[in-house]
Chains A and B, each alone.
Chain A
Amino acid sequence: MHGLVNRAIERFVRDTYGRDVWIGTIHKLDLGFTEFEAMMTYEPRITEQVLTVVGNRLARGRDDLLEDIGTYLVSHPATEALRRLLRFGGVDYVDFLHSLDDLPERARLAVADLGLPGLELQDRGGGLYHLHVGLPEGHDLRLGPVVVGILRAMADDYGALALVEHQGDGADHEIIAVRLLEEGFAHGRAFALGVGGSAA
């Protein structure tokens, strides 16, 4: 598993619950370190173990925890860079949804060995979209709930009103339903194209 994934879990716990909670939790695994390196690769079972001890510590079910992490990735100031990269995907929420098919490829341009699960958007008409999230190869960690958290937070970010729900697993993918109720529901957060640009 790419270090960025483990690092994301770590930053989520540290930024949301504090350093002590993270250190206290990670010590239980006796890994010999307390910080993940974003640019290194770890065994998939380590990610699995980390999610288990973090879930136990925070008394959150696996799916809820993953969804919280997805929300954190988009909405916390510490991960502003990631929000910006996602916003490059589209000029509005629908455009963004349609850009998701390219997301693994986009991510690969930046970090060649990240290995995100495949994403495929299906437009069911009437503002209903189904997103298929591929099950990753080599391990059975399901990341669908993270995507749910990201899609919900990105709807807020664009100022769109959307219902996002995990609809269970298919043979080789998870299914997420997005029902777009109103594109211009609220003023979204500002996004200036310029690097580190201030609000446009």
Chain B
Amino acid sequence: MTAQEKTLLPLLAGLCPMHAVLDTQGHVVQAGPTFAKLFGAQPPLGMRFLDLIELRRPHQAEDMVALLACAGARLRLRLRASPHTALKGVLLALPGGGAVVNLSFGFSVVEAVRDFGLTGADFAATDLTTEMLYLIEAKSAAMEASRKLNLRLQGARIAAEEQAFTDMLTGLRNRRALDHVLDRLMQSEQDFALLHLDLDFFKQVNDTLGHAAGDHVLQEVAQRLRDTVRVDDLIARVGGDEFVILLLGMTERAPVRDLAERMIARLEEAVLYRAQECRISGSIGITLSCAYDSPDPARMMADADLALYAAKGVGRGCARFHEPPDQDVAPMRGIA
């Protein structure tokens, strides 16, 4: 080591607190205060640098010659002892023999400040580590606040959608929801039965007992319809006393007919409103998606409407399938 080096090297402690000076044999002869902190209370003076720290890139090194061979290169290193902290560094040869190594943490810094109890004073005044730690914490806090806001907004959106698709009086789906589901069924080419239900004698309830009674009856109807269909089926209230029911996966007439009959039977059970018996019934027009080469929602709705009209024509309280015009019209058994 030259006399000039002896004067200048102590300056390194202030400029590069994580440096070490190595002698010609690769032993640590001077250690910056932060470098020393990596090894506990005592500066590791006299220890072989490569016994303390493992050089991993650009190549492994077992002796000082190998270390000096990568002078000036970006080094990737690791503490040999636990917690095996990853380090970055650079090594420069001293003209008088030996070398200076300067280290930093890179991405391991978050764990390192905790593992070694480092403070702002352990980093050089020009070092951006503290700013980086600040940013990590500030951004994490801001992200967390944004994440919570997103969760609340998502909850609000789901609630709003639910409300937009719900008939507020009965809790059934509304026309908008029906259109939505029909579109989806068309796109996924799923078969279903479409039932158009119109209540019979409902107007009389409204006229004689008032709108409150009518509302009560509609709510009761909704509950009875829900009891009749399966969980995945859809019931939408599409008008004052009109409902559309989609029975998913139904391609046979017989089970659909059974269900429609059960539905009408349930509707004909008296509804009590303030000790008054309200009696209604329902007519149903039915069409099956599998009856069409390429089903179209508007066409199916129109056909179910025709079938409903036919059912009403035969008498109240009965269900009819839509029949293509060229086939014989065979009315279903009336239930009333």
A59 at the binding interface (Cβ < 8 Å) = no
Contacting pair A195 B120 (CB below 8 A)? no
B142 contacts which of A40, A88, A111 (Cβ < 8 Å)?
Answer: A111
Taken together as a complex, chains A and B put the C-alpha atoms of A88 and B114 apart, in Å, by 15
State whether A110 touches B135 (Cβ < 8 A). Answer: yes
Q: Once the chains bind, are B110 and A195 in contact (CB under 8 Å)?
A: yes
Q: Are A193 and B120 in contact (CB under 8 A)?
A: yes
A126 touches B (CB below 8 Å): no
C-alpha spacing A73/B139, complex, angstroms? 18
Min C-beta distance of A92 to chain B, whole Å = 9
Query: Which A residues are in CB contact (< 8 Å) with B65?
Result: none
B14 to chain A, nearest CB (A): 14
The reply to whether A200 and B138 form a contact with Cβ atoms under 8 Å apart is no
* Cα(A137)–Cα(B263), bound, Å: 67
Query: Which B residues touch A193, using CB under 8 A?
Result: 113-114, 118-120, 130, 133
Q: Which residues of B contact A88 (CB under 8 A)?
A: 120, 130-131, 133-134, 137
Chain B interface main SS type: helix
Q: Is the CB of B121 closer than 8 A to any CB of chain A?
A: yes
Q: Across the interface, do A200 and B119 meet the contact criterion of CB distance under 8 Å?
A: yes
Residues of B within 8 A of A38 (CB): 145, 149
Complex Cα distance, B143 from A38, in Å, reads: 11
Which size bracket describes the interface of A in this complex?
20 to 34
A194 → chain B closest CB, angstroms? 3
Whether B9 sits at the interface, judged by CB under 8 Å, is no
Q: Judge whether B141 is part of the interface by a CB distance below 8 angstroms.
A: yes
- The answer on a CB contact under 8 Å between B114 and A197 is yes
Nearest chain B residue, comparing its CB with the CB of A114? B142
Assess whether B190 is interfacial by the CB under 8 Å rule.
no
Interface set, chain B 104-146, CB cutoff 8 A to A: 110-111, 113-114, 117-121, 130-131, 133-142, 145-146
- Knowing A37-B149, A81-B141, A85-B138, say if A195 contacts B121 (CB, 8 Å): no
CB <8 Å contact, B136 and A39: no
Q: Considering the complex, which residues of chain B in the window 140-156 have a beta carbon less than 8 Å from any beta carbon of chain A?
A: 140-142, 145-146, 149, 152
Given A81-B141, A195-B137; A91-B121 close (CB under 8 Å): yes
Q: Which residues of B contact A110 (CB under 8 A)?
A: 135, 138-139, 141-142
Within 8 Å by CB of B114, from A90, A107, A194, lies A194
Tell me the smallest distance from the CB of B207 to a CB of chain A, in Å: 40
- A106 and B111 in contact, given A38-B149, A193-B118, A195-B140 (Cβ under 8 angstroms): no
Distance (Å) between the CB of B138 and the closest chain A CB? 3
In the complex where A110-B141, A110-B142, A111-B142 touch, is A195 in contact with B149 (Cβ < 8 A)? Answer: no
Question: Residue A192 at the B interface, CB < 8 A?
Answer: yes
B125 to chain A, nearest CB (A): 10
B145–A195 touching, CB < 8 Å? no
Chain B proximity mask over A174-200: 1 for CB below 8 Å, otherwise 0 = 000000000000000001111101001
> Is A109 an interface position by the 8 A CB rule?
yes
Contact (Cβ within 8 A) A195 B146: no
Q: Which residues of A contact B139 (CB under 8 A)?
A: 110
Is A39 in contact with B120, judged by CB distance below 8 angstroms? no
Q: Are B149 and A90 in contact (CB under 8 A)?
A: no
Chain A residue nearest to B115 (CB atoms) is A194
The reply to whether B110 and A194 form a contact with Cβ atoms under 8 Å apart is: yes
Q: Which of B111, B138, B149, B152 contacts A194 (CB 8 A)?
A: B111
Q: Are B141 and A195 in contact (CB under 8 A)?
A: no
Note all chain B residues with C-beta closer than 8 A to A197.
Answer: 113-114
Complex CA gap A194/B118 in Å reads 8
Which residues in A have some Cβ–Cβ distance to B below 8 Å? 4, 37-40, 81, 84-85, 88, 90-91, 106-107, 109-111, 191-195, 197, 200
9 pairs of A and B residues whose beta carbons are closest in the complex: A194-B114, A110-B138, A88-B134, A193-B113, A91-B120, A194-B113, A38-B145, A200-B117, A39-B149
Q: Contact residues of B with A, CB < 8 Å?
A: 110-111, 113-114, 117-121, 130-131, 133-142, 145-146, 149, 152
Q: 7 A–B contact pairs at CB < 8 A? A: A85-B137, A106-B138, A107-B138, A111-B142, A195-B136, A200-B117, A200-B119
